Structure 1
Amino acid sequence: MAGYWTSFLVYYLGVLVLTEAAIKASNPPAFRHWEENSPTVNIPNHFRGSVSPLRRSVEEKRFISTVTRGAIFPPSTASFCRAAGFICVEDVNITPYNSEPVGTLNVVPLARGSPGRTMGIKTINDFQFDFFLEENLAKGASMNLAENLHDPIPKRSFLPKAVADTLTPVTTSNLPKLRQTFNIGENTKMATIMGTAAYLCENPPLPGEERACPASVESMAKFVSSQLGRNATMLKTRGAPGNAPAQKKPLIVKDFTKHSVEEGKKIVVCHNLMFPSQLYYCHHVTGTKVVEASLAAADGYIIRGVAVCHLNTTMWGSEHPAFAALKIPRGAEACHWTSQNDLIWVPVQQ
């Protein structure tokens, strides 16, 4: 009998070793920084899938060589972009990047009033639509969300770290070279979208705020860990529809969780930006509260939404859309839901 248990123990330990090795093998090297510096972070599968497939490949070396020389890409750029998981097309239609009015917000009863607005992108906040007041968040509340937290930005891969480190920074002065890098014409819709990303990324942060526009998994890990330390976890909206609903019907709040103000003293929010490759606008914000809620759609699916409540909006511009949507004065608390591809990093309470 002792021999049986000895054999079983050896077998079990062998399985554990092989399982651990398989997990490590399945984790792309791009996530080693997370594992080493933020061991509490649980990286979701969709985010793991955004790692560049060209790491240490011949294509990556050619890309770096071309960028370094400042050369315009040859006709093979299209095939390269496909291999890299980029979107290097010039004619793209993605809300809210369109310049025409995008309709009205109608949040009932979580917002008092809901005027429409013409999109003129000035800050990252101009991408936020679904505002509400924390005091009105209750079970059974009905609310209409712009696209049921669907993110219209298509999936792309990050740049490999070596390429991202070589690429010129995303600023408006560098736009000509960036367009050249991705073979995007000057007077095109994608060029305008790239200009929006550059404008947002180069704007100075608010007092006491830190921000970055990571173009690689490693640079995002570096920024998050620099702001929150080793113990952080990631929250995100889940269950949003793959496409915006054709018929917009109210969602019903089934239940919700309000995190403490202490937890929201310092969080990092990473907003998904449209760009040929995956790009995020990350900033750490203070004086916030994170809210999670289960929102039931008319066709039966459940969205697990994550929202950020800003307790003091004094530093926001007077034209911020939340003030008009909620009919509140500047400085008052305002909350907004995040789309399915935005990422919220919060410190783990010890």
Structure 2
Amino acid sequence: MERINLNSAMDSCLPLLFSLLIGVVASNAALLPAQVYWHTVLPNTHMPTAISDLLSSDTVMDSKTGTYVYVGKGGVDVNAGTGKPGSTTVGVGKGGVHVVAGQGTPGGTTVGVGHGGVHIVAGKGTPGGTTVGVGHGRVDVGAGNGKPGSTTVHVGPGGVSVNVKPKYGKPHPRVTVGPFSYNYAATEEQLHDNRQINFFFLEQDLHPGSKMNMQFEKRNDAAKFLPRSEAESIPFSSKKLPEIVSRFSVQPGSDKEEAMKETLRECEDPVLKGEKKMCATSLESMVDFSVANLGTKNVEAVSTTVHSKDETPRQEYTIVASGMKNLAQDELVACHQQTYAYAVFYCHLAKSTKGYTVKMAGKDGTVVDAVAVCHADTSAWNPKHIAFKLLNVKPGTVPVCHLLPQDHVVFSRNN
């Protein structure tokens, strides 16, 4: 009988065992913690793209040094925070290379090289430095002079335009309250913003054959979700804004800081009568809020989906025959993505509300599976809200409807 060398057999089997172990680990690691939580709490609920697109493929952050590394579909981002406001960041992605050399103080130099050309910001250590952008058929110059009120000059195909930014204390020109915050009055900018005004309509206009002129835009700068443990360790308060801005190396006085400030203000505002709300700083907290307020784990989650790889133009869309489906009526949880350093959603329980999925076809053939929400009771809304201005109706008189952009989510009880 042939004798078997056990040591030799084990040596030959070890590589196979290690391969099997690696395969098991890899298959488990394919799901991120937030995905595992979703599938555990909501096992029968499909995750909409508005959420799955915001899950980081690989995120590592050292809280002591402030260094943040993200590896995802769009490339690699490194933020060497060193715990100070003026950190160095490097981003390598589809758009090219972006470098921010903060030099230890806010307002450092930034250089971006991408498809659009070259963009340089010479901050000189203070907010409001000079910016120069050279791109396809255009030149942009921003002369901040280190002061809050900066001047920008744009030379392009359409001619020359000059924009003088206001001083601190006046409304920021690029930051407006979202149209889905119902306790705010409409601004002049909102009333002339075609991206917002056509999203509102009356319920009587929601039927097959109805035509709407609009553009479905998708945010390309949307921040990713942080792990719940990390998000909960970071202050989320207007009082802590300087600390938050420093932590994420956001330049003081920048558009992004102003937008973050507005997000915090909306999150801290009192709720409307009969409303429940929260700002979800993680996917897990969004799931918890939705389940708690709908009273069930058997929920449906939907978001607007545009079936096109390219940006779609502003055009006429028609609701197709048999293209409407009712979601559970009366109570819905709507979550609206905010502008922030990481993914934050303004979620609120909307009562006396109807939800629909609506299939629409554009003139160019683009198909959109849109989400529409109709509010039967608007009596608690601000009388000067943009919806009343556009539709020429008064609060509490008729149901007001709107479509949702692609980066918003609606949760409802599953029919």
TM-score w.r.t. length of structure 2: 0.62
C-alpha change, 1:188 and 1:132, in structure 2 (3 Å) is: same
Higher helix share goes to which structure?
1
In 2: Cα distance, 1:44 partner to 1:217 partner: 12
Aligned to 1:50: 54
Structure 2 unaligned blocks of 5 or more? 1-23, 69-81, 94-99, 101-109, 111-126, 132-170, 177-185
Q: CA deviation at 1:217?
A: 1.7
Structure 1 unaligned blocks of 5 or more? 1-19, 83-87, 92-96, 103-115
Q: For 1:201, which of 252, 263, 267 is the aligned residue?
A: 267
Q: CA deviation at 1:322?
A: 0.8
Aligned to 1:30: 34
The answer (yes or no) to whether the contact 1:289–1:309 under 8 Å persists in 2 is yes
The answer (yes or no) to whether the contact 1:51–1:160 under 8 Å persists in 2 is no
Q: Deviations over 1:8-66 (max 9, x none)?
A: xxxxxxxxxxxx998765321222322222222211356334223455x464674499x
Q: For 1:72, which of 84, 88, 91 is the aligned residue?
A: 84
Aligned to 1:329: 394
Higher-Rg structure is 2
Q: Which has the higher mean CA deviation after the structures are superposed, 226-235 or 150-159?
A: 150-159
Q: CA deviation at 1:129?
A: 5.0
C-alpha change, 1:254 and 1:172, in structure 2 (3 Å) is: same
C-alpha change, 1:61 and 1:243, in structure 2 (3 Å) is: farther
C-alpha change, 1:258 and 1:142, in structure 2 (3 Å) is: same
Deviating beyond 4 angstroms after TM superposition, the runs of 4 or more aligned structure 1 residues are 20-25, 88-91, 126-129, 240-246
RMSD over aligned Cα atoms: 3.7
In 1: Cα distance, 2:266 partner to 2:92 partner: 24
In 2: Cα distance, 1:294 partner to 1:282 partner: 24
Q: Which has the higher mean CA deviation after the structures are superposed, 301-310 or 208-217?
A: 208-217
In 2: Cα distance, 1:327 partner to 1:307 partner: 20
The answer (yes or no) to whether the contact 2:49–2:303 under 8 Å persists in 1 is no
Q: Deviations over 1:205-259 (max 9, x none)?
A: 112222111122222222222222311110111116666645x321112133252
Q: Deviations over 1:67-108 (max 9, x none)?
A: xxx9425624x24999xxxxx9999xxxxx983799xxxxxx
C-alpha change, 1:324 and 1:44, in structure 2 (3 Å) is: closer
Q: CA deviation at 1:158?
A: 0.9
Matched, 1:232 2:299: yes
The answer (yes or no) to whether the contact 2:304–2:368 under 8 Å persists in 1 is yes
Higher strand share goes to which structure?
2
Aligned to 2:188: 118
Q: For 1:135, which of 199, 204, 219 is the aligned residue?
A: 204
Q: For 2:238, which of 158, 168, 172 is the aligned residue?
A: 172
C-alpha change, 1:128 and 1:222, in structure 2 (3 Å) is: farther
Amino acid at match of 1:236: S
C-alpha change, 1:259 and 1:143, in structure 2 (3 Å) is: same
In 2: Cα distance, 1:157 partner to 1:312 partner: 34
Q: Deviations over 1:266-302 (max 9, x none)?
A: 2110101111211111111111001221211121111
In 2: Cα distance, 1:49 partner to 1:212 partner: 22
In 2: Cα distance, 1:25 partner to 1:152 partner: 28
Aligned to 2:382: 317
Counterpart of 1:187 in 2: which secondary structure?
A: coil
Q: CA deviation at 1:153?
A: 5.5
Counterpart of 2:263 in 1: which secondary structure?
A: helix
Greater RCO, CA 8 A, separation 6+: 1
Counterpart of 1:234 in 2: which secondary structure?
A: strand
In 2: Cα distance, 1:198 partner to 1:220 partner: 17
The answer (yes or no) to whether the contact 1:100–1:118 under 8 Å persists in 2 is no
Q: Deviations over 1:99-139 (max 9, x none)?
A: 3799xxxxxxxxxxxxx952379xxxx96751111212232
In 1: Cα distance, 2:298 partner to 2:357 partner: 20
Aligned to 1:10: none
Once the two structures are aligned, what percentage of the paired residues are identical? 23
Aligned to 1:281: 346
The answer (yes or no) to whether the contact 1:231–1:347 under 8 Å persists in 2 is yes
Q: CA deviation at 1:317?
A: 0.6
Counterpart of 1:36 in 2: which secondary structure?
A: helix
Aligned to 2:373: 308
C-alpha change, 1:81 and 1:329, in structure 2 (3 Å) is: farther
Aligned to 2:166: none
TM-score w.r.t. length of structure 1: 0.72
Aligned to 1:16: none
The answer (yes or no) to whether the contact 1:172–1:199 under 8 Å persists in 2 is yes
Counterpart of 2:329 in 1: which secondary structure?
A: helix
Q: For 2:358, which of 276, 293, 297 is the aligned residue?
A: 293
Q: CA deviation at 1:342?
A: 0.5
In 1: Cα distance, 2:211 partner to 2:62 partner: 50
C-alpha change, 1:231 and 1:21, in structure 2 (3 Å) is: farther
In 1: Cα distance, 2:342 partner to 2:175 partner: 27
